[in-house]
């Protein structure tokens, strides 16, 4: 189970590569998703809305994301509203459409959210049943983000264009956030390195009368 590493602002689960667990002479770099598949491990991905930051109401006060990331997500919400799109639905469909992740876990607090999740899942199922396009046919040669490649069969034209704008690494709302993230080889990445445990620990350390030790 991995939490918050496949969503509109962070696709590191499938797009970030690393050297596989060290064995002498190993140099192969693969994604975490590919490594799990190689090892026969079922991959579960949670928090496609990134703990509420990809919603119209925004994240809870304790959310550990940086100020830049919060501001970028507010821009995404505004962009969706300008095109009469539901950012929550778009973010959910984006996550569910990734074939390399066999299971996405959603948090739902009421019947309306359950029904919205069902509509997103139905969109994926309908697209899967109705399209016979190959990967090459689904791919836009102008796509700069690898997760856009299979979305054309799933999204409406407006949803696709807005998603493409969101994921634009140069001019999109996350461009500033992503510009600070790169791997050891300087390779551009479509994610923001985020040590969630360290961020939560730092948050609690800032509160008065809270004793947080390093192991926590």
41/103 Cα distance (integer angstroms): 12
First to last CA, the chain: 20
pLDDT given for residue 153 in this prediction: 85
Does 192 have pLDDT greater than 60? Answer: no
pLDDT tens track for 32-79? 888 888 888 899 999 999 999 999 999 998 898 889 999 999 999 999
The whole-number average pLDDT for the span 82-100 is 95
141/52 Cα distance (integer angstroms): 32
pLDDT given for residue 212 in this prediction: 64
Does 125 have pLDDT greater than 60? Answer: yes
pLDDT given for residue 137 in this prediction: 44
Can you give the pTM of this predicted structure?
Answer: 0.77
Q: What is the largest CA-CA distance in the chain?
A: 60
Does 154 have pLDDT greater than 70? Answer: yes
Dihedral, CA of residue 113, residue 61, residue 101 and residue 153, to nearest 10: 60
pLDDT tens track for 138-153? 445 455 566 677 788 8
Share of the chain above pLDDT 90, in %: 44
pLDDT given for residue 184 in this prediction: 39
């Amino acid at each position: 189970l991995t939490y918050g590493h496949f969503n509109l602002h962070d696709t590191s689960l499938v797009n970030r590569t690393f050297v596989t667990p060290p064995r002498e002479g190993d140099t192969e770099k693969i994604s975490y998703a590919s490594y799990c598949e190689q090892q026969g491990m079922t991959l579960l991905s949670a928090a496609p809305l990134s703990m509420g930051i990809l919603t119209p109401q925004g994240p809870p006060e304790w959310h550990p994301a940086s100020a830049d990331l919060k501001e970028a997500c507010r821009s995404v919400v505004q962009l969706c509203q300008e095109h009469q799109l539901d950012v929550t639905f778009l973010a959910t469909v984006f996550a569910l459409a990734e074939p390399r992740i066999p299971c996405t876990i959603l948090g739902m607090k009421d019947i309306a959210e359950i029904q919205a999740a069902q509509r997103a899942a139905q969109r994926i199922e309908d697209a899967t049943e109705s399209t016979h396009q190959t990967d090459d046919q689904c791919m836009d040669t102008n796509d700069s983000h690898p997760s856009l490649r299979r979305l054309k069969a799933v999204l409406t034209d407006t949803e696709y264009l807005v998603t493409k704008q969101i994921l634009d690494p140069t001019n999109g709302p996350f461009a500033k956030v992503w510009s600070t993230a790169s791997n050891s080889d300087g390779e551009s990445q479509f994610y923001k390195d985020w040590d969630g445990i360290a961020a939560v620990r730092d948050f609690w350390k800032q509160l008065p009368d809270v004793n947080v030790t390093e192991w926590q």
